[in-house]
Amino acid sequence: MAKLRTETFTVTPTGVGRRDYSQDVQFSVEPTIRSYQLPYTFQEAYILNAGQTRTIDINVPAGQVVMLYDMLMCCPANVLLSFEVQTIDTDGVVNSVFHKAGYQKVDHHLPRGVPVFSAIRLIMTNNSTLNLTDVQVSLAGQQMSQEEYFMRLMP
């Protein structure tokens, strides 16, 4: 049987690199708030009666863009909920962001975000026979001027 010789060398990390080559690792994740961007949050509680569908429009201030990343609808009862989020452009075109159903909680995360120029439309449905008095809706993202948004798109 051959005897193996094992030697260990320490290598000093230099520069910025991958996790296995350096101690100084920089992470770049989206979303990042830069310059004139502000965090955008919307939280509201609604009443949804049994079998009711409710549509809410949330206006975006003129000259502003909201980048939506996280959307959540939840209630304290274990009932079937349906949640749809749409965006409305300045020319009136409606775009669907997502449509999901789930028990007690419906959430959706967009890693790259979706821009909203005019309004956010929420369509909430209570598919149960219970009247819900505390349906929570939360939206999170970034808010910036349209000029800042279009500057981000340029290389």
User: Tens digits of per-residue pLDDT, 40-83?
Assistant: 999 999 999 999 999 999 999 999 999 999 999 999 999 999 99
Phi/psi at 149 (nearest 5 deg)? -60, -45
Q: How far apart are CA 148 and CA 83, in angstroms?
A: 30
Phi/psi at 150 (nearest 5 deg)? -70, -25
Averaged pLDDT score across all residues of the chain: 85
Backbone region of residue 140 per phi and psi (left: phi > 0; alpha: psi in -120 to 50; beta: other values): beta
Q: Structure pTM?
A: 0.74
* CATH (domain of 44): 2.60.120.510
Assigned domain for 9 exists:
no
Assigned domain for 141 exists:
yes
Domain span at 86? 38-153
Confidence label for 148 from pLDDT (cuts 50, 70 and 90): confident
Instruction: Note whether 36 and 146 are within 8 A (CB).
Output: no
Confidence label for 155 from pLDDT (cuts 50, 70 and 90): low
